Amino acid sequence: MLAFVLVLADITRAHDNTRPAALREVAFDQKLAEQVPLDLSFRDERGNEVRLSDYFGRKPVILNFVYYKCRDLCPLLLDGLVRSLRALSFDIGNQFAVLTVSFDPHNSAALADAKNKEFLARYARPGAADGWHFLTGTEDSIQKLTSAVGFHYNYDAQTGEFAHATGIVLLTPAGKVSRYYYGIDFSPRDLRLGLIEAAEARIGTPIDQLLLFCFHYDPVTGKYGLLITNVIRLAGGLTVLLVAGFVIAMLRRERSHAAASGRTV
């Protein structure tokens, strides 16, 4: 587990030949603004053939990769995602959708269905079944999708398991890569801001727009940090408004006193 987490710590590093062979090709490369191939075919948790385009067009989409027989990182990733999403006021199926895709071409729709039911029950919000789907696919479709978003993994024939990085990818309604969030625990604030940006500010509140002005996405860390220059600008603008308001109030007060005493100002 520690080895997998350490892989994620240096996300900007190229594939390192000094790593153990099983981890050598494991990475999560940034491909911001890359268009995901929406014509790819998969099968949903019910075994129905679907295209990625079926899930795009109206809402941003949170994309994550697991394999359904994983006993280590994948359950931790999904657990962390559920915890973060439950902390949001946004709802799956309403403001955004979630696609969980298996990168093991041998996983079945029955396995996907079991995972779907398990994590929908943990999320426990009405309407989520229409917005969170667990997909399986052919090796060709899986490789094209994972390549498009920079997700690299490695199969270990000796153990029958996959070595892989963990994280989620935020996609726009048009299917373009918007944000990456790494690890197994995701900041609800960062997710909220990312969803608002991916949706082109069509969701959220005026306060969220103010937060977007003050916080800036760092592609290296996959997190939002305080943008001090914008904070200074905002503080300066508020100061000017407060001073102007004070001057106007004082002038009105002076005129009121002058009118009461029969003088003019």
State residue 262's pLDDT score.
61
State residue 169's pLDDT score.
96
Q: Give residue 98's Cα distance to chain centre.
A: 10
Q: Which residues contact 28 (CB under 8 A, 6 or more apart)?
A: 8, 11, 150, 151, 152, 165, 167, 180, 182
**DSSP-H helix ranges across the chain:** 2-9, 73-86, 109-123, 139-149, 188-198, 206-214, 228-261
State residue 249's pLDDT score.
63
Please say whether the beta carbons of 170 and 60 come within 8 A: yes
The Cα 123–Cα 126 span in angstroms is: 9
Question: Could you tell me the end-to-end alpha-carbon distance of the chain, in angstroms, rounded to an integer?
Answer: 77
Structural domain includes residue 26: yes
State residue 263's pLDDT score.
55
CB atoms within 10 A of CB 170: 22
Q: Which residues contact 131 (CB under 8 A, 6 or more apart)?
A: 59, 91, 92, 93, 94, 96, 97, 98
Please say whether the beta carbons of 66 and 151 come within 8 A: no
State residue 140's pLDDT score.
97
Structural domain includes residue 247: no
Please say whether the beta carbons of 24 and 17 come within 8 A: yes
State residue 145's pLDDT score.
98
Residue numbers of the domain that contains 82: 2-200
Strands 167-171 and 49-51: unpaired
What are φ and ψ of residue 225, in 5° steps? -120, 160
Whole-prediction pTM value? 0.74
Please say whether the beta carbons of 8 and 183 come within 8 A: yes
Identity of residue 199: A
> Structurally, how many domains does the chain consist of?
1
Structural domain includes residue 226: no
Q: What CATH number does the domain containing 119 carry?
A: 3.40.30.10
Q: Which residues contact 203 (CB under 8 A, 6 or more apart)?
A: 90, 95, 96, 195, 196
Q: With a cut of 50, which residues of the chain have pLDDT below it?
A: 1-15, 228-238, 240, 243, 265
Structural domain includes residue 61: yes
State residue 219's pLDDT score.
73
Structural domain includes residue 152: yes
Q: Which is nearest to 152 in space by CA: 136, 141, 164?
A: 164
| Contacts made by residues 19-27, CB under 8 angstroms, sequence distance 24+ | 22/154, 22/156, 22/163, 23/154, 23/163, 24/154, 25/152, 25/153, 25/154, 26/152, 26/153, 26/154, 26/163, 26/164, 26/165, 27/150, 27/152, 27/165
Structural domain includes residue 237: no
Structural domain includes residue 8: yes
Structural domain includes residue 82: yes
Please say whether the beta carbons of 52 and 39 come within 8 A: yes
